[in-house]
Structure 1
Amino acid sequence: MSTPTTTILITGANQGLGFETARQLSKHANLHIFLVGRNPTRVQEAQTKITTEDGCQASIDKLTIDVSDDESIKAGVEELKSKLRGAALDVLVNNSGVAFEGQIAEKGLRRVFEETYAVNVFGATVVADSLLPLLKQSKTAGGGRILNISSGLGSIANMADPNGEYKDKWFYAYNSSKSALNAITVTLAMKNPELNVVSIDPGYNATNLNRYTGHLDPKDGVKVIVEHALGKVGKSPGFYSNEGEVPW
């Protein structure tokens, strides 16, 4: 008897943590992975890199979606339905994210908040909400899964520790956007008990988001994302890192 295919959609999959998550997942058979990004050329390039790399066993598909644009999300969901041909979506990796803290002087604080929340909170929420019907069709153990890619900077408990790991990283917009995303995780989990919904803190990875200043290699940082995407089911709602549970 053949193993059922698990369908996984990853937003922000053309670079950084999203790309590395997709790359590592591609080494597993019986997966249908959708790479999502707003730039079709870059998404195509990511698909080509992954499918031509040694060891790729998964089916790699792509979608163009701008998570800050509701019409783009709507069109992308319809295209996804067409490509799934009646099948379910098993896992959503809500990974798209932005950070503009270094542009406050140029843009102004209000605009930095608006642009950050448009992707990190509003976009992630609208994407998840739009995909609920497909996720609820999942027959995987523990139900359909939503992985909201958060940050330790979104942990209010961590940020309130003046001597903690994140001291001196008290950023207005980015940190609060990840705290808000954590609240969305809780809301989605409580409203949809048949799903498993968690926030993931992959650590401070060297990516384009932070101009490669992070001390972690994304190859290591995404391990916790890959584990949960492949079926590790923590409590829902929950907040997890590579080291274990993270305080809200």
Structure 2
Amino acid sequence: MTDRTVLITGANKSIGYETARQLGRQGFRIWLGSRDADRGEAAAETLAAEGIVVRALTLDVTSDDSVRSAVERVEGDDGKLDILINNAGISGRQPIVPSEQPLDDIKAIYETNVFAPIRVTQAFLPLLKATSDASVVMVSSGLGSLSWLSDPSNAFHGVNILGYNSSKTALNAVTVAFAKELIAWGIAVNAADPGYTATDFNGQTGYRTVEQAAAGIVWLATQTTRDMTGRFYFERNEVPW
């Protein structure tokens, strides 16, 4: 067991939950972020039964008040945060062609996939600065890679989902912006593509397991060095923006 702490948003199920499990097994102290308090407590209890040190944290990433309360609790209990994993995300209405996707739907996607990671990262920044070798991971998607989407030979080329894809591209830009600023504090900020994983997010249609998806996120969160920042990874390999 270490005294290093990790906060994972949207961690009561799927990839976020498995990320919590894998990091917990490595001895990290887990803050399990969940918008729904009951689901968060239930998930934390299950992990605790496996011997993982975990605390449920009610956290609606789209709410300033909720994020503020979460910061106050983490600060009161630990006084610092070593790793922040911005995992919470939504897909929006699918499938739908770009010309027909309602603007309100796109705005809702951006609120969770783009503005929320900015909100959470900004709010927890003082606690990240209070420790050494802190790390931030933005859980992105290969569908956010403009290089892959514009390449006719790439498998993602035919997946033309305006709201979701562009939100992950925007999140990648957010990653670069934070990385450039926070390198002065020794804080690594990177993006992770978990791959097309079978979860409720996509109706269990993905070909990858949550264990595989989480492994890449865990590696990126724990193995980064001070000069390994502002990058995008899938399976430990750098992905083109």
Which TM-score band (shorter chain)?
A: over 0.9
- In the alignment, which residue of structure 1 is the partner of 2:229? 236
Structure 1 unaligned blocks of 5 or more: none
Structure 2 unaligned blocks of 5 or more: none
* SS of equivalent residue, structure 2 residue 233: strand
- In the alignment, which residue of structure 1 is the partner of 2:193? 201
Report the alpha carbon displacement of residue 76 of structure 1 after superposing the two structures with TM: 1.3
Report the alpha carbon displacement of residue 167 of structure 1 after superposing the two structures with TM: 2.4
- In the alignment, which residue of structure 2 is the partner of 1:176? 166
Instruction: Give the whole-Å Cα distance in 2 for the aligned partners of 1:169 and 1:35.
Output: 32
- In the alignment, which residue of structure 2 is the partner of 1:39? 36
Report the alpha carbon displacement of residue 108 of structure 1 after superposing the two structures with TM: 5.2
Matches of residues 99-178 of structure 1 in structure 2 within 5 Å? 99-102=91-94, 109-139=102-132, 143-178=133-168
* SS of equivalent residue, structure 2 residue 67: helix
- In the alignment, which residue of structure 1 is the partner of 2:176? 186
| Alignment TM-score, normalising by the size of structure 2 | 0.93
* SS of equivalent residue, structure 2 residue 143: helix
**Cα distance per residue 1:102-143 (max 9 Å; x no partner):** 2769x951111111001000011100011111101112xxx2
**Alignment check: 8 A CA contact 1:104 1:112 kept:** no
* SS of equivalent residue, structure 1 residue 101: coil
Matches of residues 51-70 of structure 1 in structure 2 within 5 Å? 51-53=48-50, 56=51, 58-70=52-64
Count of residue pairs the alignment pairs up: 236
- Name the aligned partner's letter for residue 80 of structure 1: V
* SS of equivalent residue, structure 1 residue 102: coil
Q: Identity over the aligned pairs, expressed in percent? A: 36
**Cα distance per residue 1:33-64 (max 9 Å; x no partner):** 100010001001110111113xx3x4211210
**Alignment check: 8 A CA contact 1:101 1:174 kept:** no
Report the alpha carbon displacement of residue 222 of structure 1 after superposing the two structures with TM: 1.2
**Cα distance per residue 1:211-245 (max 9 Å; x no partner):** 11111011111111111223333721111110500
| Alignment TM-score, normalising by the size of structure 1 | 0.90
Question: Normalized per residue, which structure has more helix?
Answer: 2
Q: Given the alignment, which residue of 5, 8, 17 partners 2:6? A: 8
Instruction: Give the whole-Å Cα distance in 2 for the aligned partners of 1:48 and 1:4.
Output: 20
Instruction: Give the whole-Å Cα distance in 2 for the aligned partners of 1:79 and 1:243.
Output: 33
User: Which runs of 4 or more aligned residues in structure 1 lie more than 6 Å from their structure 2 counterparts after TM superposition?
Assistant: none
* SS of equivalent residue, structure 1 residue 62: strand
